[in-house]
Amino acid sequence: MEYLQFVIIIVFSPLLQGVIKKLKANMQGRVGPGVFQPYYDLFRLFKKDMVLSHVTSWIFKATPYIVFTSTAAAAMIVPVITTISPFGIMGDVIALIYIIAVGRFFMALAGLDAGTAFGGEGSSREMTVAILVEPMMMLSIFTAAISAGSTNIARIASSQNILYSPSHILALSAFIVAIIAETGRIPVDNPDTHLELTMIHEGMLLEYSGKYLALMEWAHYMKQMLLFTLAVDIFFPIGISSDTGFSAIVLSSGIYCLKMFFMAGLMALIESSRAKMRFFQLPSLLGGAFVLALLSLLTYIMMGK
């Protein structure tokens, strides 16, 4: 099972997206779509024909495969239900962040490659947000990495027991904001809109259709579940197995499901209680989260915990 635990993220990431949408709808007094609706949407897109602009280059066609492959590669080095993994030696948080950045870079290029105003706008906004988010994520993770004595994700997860110090609370707060920004959720972005004045992530996908759009959407679901998993691995690692026995794996899988449901509920609650912020206000939010991440690191250095 330790060889295939990354398949959990690939297979069940659309289900997690469906759970978030269902919880969000219930919180807003709506019925909402079923939890399996993302699967139906992906199947429908895979069966549709693609429409390609004659001005696009190989970058536009290669980007869906690069984004999907890079996200799957990132999922392979993150512990899901056990810290024992054949890919654990490659599971460095710095490498993980930059593997994800590869997909973002090609998405921005693809948005520009189509030559549309909306694609260029989305790419510009995406890279602006990335400049603020990536340092925040690194500082948040470094707080836990220093206490574990390693930047290896599996070692961080196996050395922590529970959220226990002020520095970890500050780091977790900053990391939650980073997850919201990386997954394009309210108040940073609205994943359900195509209004040109508000969209960031969707602006880069407007020219995609059919199989290419399905791969991009699926990769986005995987990235979301991957970041949720990374958060619980680092800040709530209690319950993750250090054994590959059947009973240990079953128990760890059950606890992991509860953690993902909690993260889904948290995202739905944030989206239901906050409004979309204007783009020029985002530096204040992301800058404040960066300060929290920096304070978490300084607090740990000064207090030793």
Give the per-residue pLDDT at 12.
Answer: 95
Does residue 36 belong to any structural domain of this protein? yes
pLDDT surpasses 60 at 161: no
Does residue 191 belong to any structural domain of this protein? yes
Write the pLDDT tens digit of every residue in 106-142: 999 998 888 888 888 888 888 888 888 988 888 888 8
Does residue 73 belong to any structural domain of this protein? yes
Strand partners, 152: 92
Mean pLDDT of 221-235: 92
pLDDT surpasses 60 at 77: yes
Cβ atoms within 10 Å, residue 120? 17
Peptide bond into 166 cis (omega under 30): no
- Whole-angstrom CA distances from 244 to 81, 85, 241, 260 are 9, 10, 7, 21
Write the pLDDT tens digit of every residue in 2-50: 667 889 999 999 999 999 999 999 998 888 889 999 999 999 999 998 8
Please name which of 113, 152, 130, 172 lies closest in space to residue 299, comparing C-alpha atoms: 172
pLDDT surpasses 70 at 89: no
pLDDT surpasses 70 at 149: yes
Which residue, chain included where needed, has tokens 């690191």?
Answer: 297
Mean pLDDT of 159-163: 58
Does residue 226 belong to any structural domain of this protein? yes
Does residue 1 belong to any structural domain of this protein? no
Query: What is the chain's mean pLDDT, rounded?
Result: 86
Q: How many domains does the chain have?
A: 1
Give the per-residue pLDDT at 256.
Answer: 92
CB-based contact 228:17 (threshold 8 Å): no
Residue 88: band (very low, low, confident or very high) from pLDDT cuts 50, 70, 90: low
Give the per-residue pLDDT at 255.
Answer: 92
What percentage of the chain carries pLDDT values higher than 70? 92
What are the two backbone dihedrals, phi and then psi, of residue 241, each rounded to the nearest 5 degrees? -80, 145
Three-class SS of residue 160? coil
Give the per-residue pLDDT at 87.
Answer: 65
Give the per-residue pLDDT at 238.
Answer: 81
Compute the distance between CA of residue 179 and CA of residue 45 in angstroms, rounded to an integer. Answer: 26
Q: What range defines the domain where residue 126 resides?
A: 6-303
Give the per-residue pLDDT at 211.
Answer: 94
pTM of this prediction? 0.91
SS3 for 193-217 is CCCCCCCCCHHHHCCCCHHHHHHHH
Least confident of 17-21, 24-28, 69-73, 237-241: 237-241
pLDDT surpasses 60 at 163: no
pLDDT surpasses 80 at 299: yes
Alpha carbon of residue 113 to chain centroid: 25
Q: Which residue has the higher pLDDT, 225 or 202?
A: 225
Rounded to 10 degrees, the C-alpha dihedral 145/150/154/158 comes to: -80
Strand partners, 82: 241
